[in-house]
């Protein structure tokens, strides 16, 4: 069997559609029928794994997948040893702090001694430390925006894209912690054969990006 590269992509979520579009635009055909989590490309030496986005950096670090498409936010939060090999420019979002719309928030120090819900405890605690704010971080893995309305926390720190989730949950964005986009990550020690396939893929991605500018 000839050499193949394993590519991890998000199963369903903000990155999925854009990731699949990019792969298609690179001229790579594969059939990911409903529920199929592993599929081989028809015309490129690659196999696709559909995974939870939060798990992708870990799989790439372990070498279970050779490369992956993931949000920079997830990459930084998981703190896995992988190489960021190319920025993809899509699925742009920001990681922000938000409070109930009616609060009269003025500055970051207003969050001192407050409770903050997030799925990004590492990034949030670094940010708070940097700004010398002491707060109580509640880690939850999803539906973070519900936390203030059920009395769990005073504020949240989560991904904002269109802002509609904040809006529908009576919250307002008060601080942007950092801006994120989709990135291509790779295992640090790819075999020369797989590195060659990755180089070919990056070449195609660059052509797709150049055609759009
Ligand atoms: C984020 C975040 C919000 C939503 C915000 O979820 O948790 O639910 O996107 O987007 P909006 O501003 O356009 O409403 P994400 O897609 O990262 O999913 P996940 O947390 O389940 O991985
Ligand atoms: Mg997810
Ligand atoms: Zn997630």
ipTM value of the model? 0.89
Which domains, and CATH codes, for the chain? 5-91+181-212 (3.40.190.10), 93-178 (3.40.190.10)
Is-contact 53 10, C-beta < 8 A? yes
- Please report, for residues 46, 54, 74, the alpha-carbon distance to residue 8 in angstroms, rounded to integers and kept in the order given: 10, 11, 14
Q: Whole-number mean pLDDT of the chain?
A: 96
- Decide: 128 and 175 in contact? Cβ < 8 Å: no
Atom of ligand 1 nearest to the CA of 165: 14
Shortest-distance Cα residue to atom 2 of ligand 1? 159
- Give the number of the atom of ligand 1 that is nearest the alpha carbon of residue 71: 17
| Nearest atom within ligand 1 for CA of residue 160 | 12
- Which listed ligand is nearest to 94 at the C-alpha? 1
Is the per-residue pLDDT at 1 higher than 90?
Answer: no
Give me the percent of the chain exceeding a pLDDT of 90: 93
CA of 54 to the centre of ligand 3 (A): 5
What pLDDT shows up at residue 89? Answer: 95
Residues within a 6 A CB radius of ligand 1: 13-14, 53, 142, 158-165
What contacts 126, CB < 8 A, 6 or more positions away?
none
pLDDT on residue 30: 86
Q: pTM for this structure?
A: 0.92
pLDDT digits (tens, 9 = 90+) for 133-161: 999 999 999 999 999 999 999 999 999 99
* Distances from the Cα of 157 to the Cα of 88, 145, 202, 205, angstroms: 24, 9, 33, 32
pLDDT of res. 4: 96
Distance, in Å, from the CA atom of 75 to the CA atom of 166, rounded to the nearest integer, reads 23
Mutation test of ligand 1: which of 165, 166, 170 has the most ligand atoms closer than 8 Å to its C-beta? 165
**How far does the centroid of ligand 3 lie from the alpha carbon of residue 92, in Å?**
14
Ligand 2 centroid – CA 114 distance (Å): 26
Question: Which atom of ligand 1 is nearest to 168's Cα?
Answer: 14
- Residue pLDDT, tens place only, 90-136: 999 999 999 999 999 999 999 999 999 999 999 999 999 999 999 99
Question: Secondary structure of the chain in the HEC alphabet?
Answer: CCCCEEEEEECCCCCHHHHHHHHHHCCCCECCCCCCCEEEECCCCEEEEEECHHHHHHHHHHCCCCEEEEEHHHHHHHCCCCEEEEECCCCCEEEEEEEECCCCCCCHHHHCCCEEEECCHHHHHHHHHHCCCCCEEEECCCCHHHCHHHCCCCEEEEEECCCHHHHHCCEEEEEEEEEECEEEEECCCCCHHHHHHHHHHHHHHHHHHHHHC
Contact status, residue 91 vs residue 182, Cβ threshold 8 Å: yes
Checking if the pLDDT of 34 tops 60, the result is yes
- CA–CA distances in Å: residue 159 to residues 40, 79, 196, 202, 213: 32, 18, 34, 27, 27
Per the model's pLDDT, the better-predicted residue between 207 and 14 turns out to be: 207
Residue 145 alpha carbon to ligand 1 centre in Å? 10
Tokens of 202: 């990056």
Give nearest CA residue, ligand 1 atom 16: 14
In the structure encoding, which two tokens stand for residue 178, read together? 């950092």
């Amino acid at each position: 069997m000839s050499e193949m590269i394993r590519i991890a992509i998000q199963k369903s979520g903000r990155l999925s559609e854009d990731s699949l579009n990019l792969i298609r635009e690179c001229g790579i055909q594969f059939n990911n029928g409903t529920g199929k989590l592993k599929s081989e490309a028809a015309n490129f030496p690659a196999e696709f794994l559909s995974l939870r986005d939060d798990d992708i950096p870990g799989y790439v670090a372990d070498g279970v997948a050779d490369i992956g498409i993931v949000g920079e936010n997830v990459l930084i939060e998981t703190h896995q040893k992988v190489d960021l090999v190319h920025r993809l420019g899509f699925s742009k979002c920001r990681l922000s702090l938000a409070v109930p719309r009616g609060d009269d928030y003025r500055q970051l120090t207003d969050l001192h001694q407050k409770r903050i819900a997030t799925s990004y405890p590492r990034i949030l605690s670094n940010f708070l430390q940097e700004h010398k704010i002491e707060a109580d971080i509640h880690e939850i893995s999803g539906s973070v925006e519900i936390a203030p309305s059920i009395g769990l926390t005073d504020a949240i720190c989560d991904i904002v894209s269109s802002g509609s989730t904040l809006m529908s949950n009576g919250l307002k964005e008060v601080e942007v912690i950092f801006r994120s986009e989709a990135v291509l990550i790779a295992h640090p020690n790819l075999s020369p054969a797989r590195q060659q396939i990755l180089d070919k893929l990056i070449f195609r991605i660059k052509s797709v990006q150049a055609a759009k500018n």
